[in-house]
Amino acid sequence: CKLSGSITSKLGQLSNLLGFDVHNNIISGSIPPSIGKLTDVRALYMDTNALTGTIPSNIGSLTRLVDLRLHGNHLKGPMPQAISNLRILQILDLNSNELSGELPGPSLGNLSLMRELHLYQNNFVGSIPDELGSLGLITVLFLDQNELTGPIPAWTDLDYLEKLYVFDNELSRTIPKEIGNLHGLTELRLESN
């Protein structure tokens, strides 16, 4: 729709809102902290815009959130630790931003219903958290095109994982033999490390 401008802070007054979708527009500015008041919301699609600033930490108040898509913006800073409060989140898509810092392993590891985790094309550093191995229902795990270092974790319990992308990072050491136990894998990309 080529909507422009910013997201109003009055959005938080829509207390019965179950879904909010403004993807694929030219909306700029930051995500208003008032978004934390949308405690019934199940889906937030603000992807493919021109949003800036950080992801508000009070996004952790959205405990009924199932699908969060913020990819294709200019968001910066670390991923909030409060993401661990989103216990029923199934899709987290933050790719193609300018997010940085280490991946919050304990926070992400708490998201036991996660099906898809898209964190590629950011500026994340540090190692791939072992805690991602506790995401037993995950099917898609995209960590490529960051600055991640260290080994590929020896995960064994990701029975539903179909796509694992960790290419174009700074990973080193050997490919763990345990990767052979991920029988559901259809795509494995490890190049450019």
Q: What is the pTM of this model?
A: 0.96
Q: Which residues contact residue 101 at a Cβ distance below 8 angstroms, ignoring those fewer than 6 apart? A: 77, 78, 79, 124, 125, 126
- The total number of residues written for the chain in this structure: 193
DSSP state of 187: E
Which H helix or E strand runs over 47?
none
Q: What is the pLDDT of residue 1?
A: 82
Q: Which residues contact residue 43 at a Cβ distance below 8 angstroms, ignoring those fewer than 6 apart? A: 18, 19, 20, 21, 65, 66, 67, 68
DSSP state of 108: H
Q: Digits of tens for pLDDT over the chain (193 positions)?
A: 889 999 999 999 999 999 999 999 999 999 999 999 999 999 999 999 999 999 999 999 999 999 999 999 999 999 999 999 999 999 999 999 999 999 999 999 999 999 999 999 999 999 999 999 999 999 999 999 999 999 999 999 999 999 999 999 999 999 999 999 999 999 999 999 9
